[in-house]
Structure 1
Amino acid sequence: MKVHPVFHISLLEPYRELSFPGRVQCLPLSIEIKNHEEYKVLDSR
């Protein structure tokens, strides 16, 4: 049985940017492979 990856609109909510006082969010470190920039996934939860 195949499941089609669709979400009903009632399950969606607008994106809210979380802001914690004093927190600085850094860009992830990139890896360059064959002149192409890639990123390593550290946690896939």
Structure 2
Amino acid sequence: MAGQWVEVLGGIMEGSGQILRVSTALNCLLGLLLWVQKIRAGAARHA
């Protein structure tokens, strides 16, 4: 499993901070190479 690329889509379920924490943990523990996309997709836009 180490060295395998996994895509993480940021617009589904969790907030950007949680996605970043879980992605970092998976990288450290399992050696997965992560491609995080649209990490702020669900965030509200402030004008």
TM > 0.5: no
TM range (shorter): under 0.3
- With normalisation by structure 1, the TM-score equals 0.19
* Rg (Cα) greater in structure: 1
> Which has the larger helix fraction?
2
Q: Which has the higher contact order (CA 8 A, sep 6+)?
A: 2
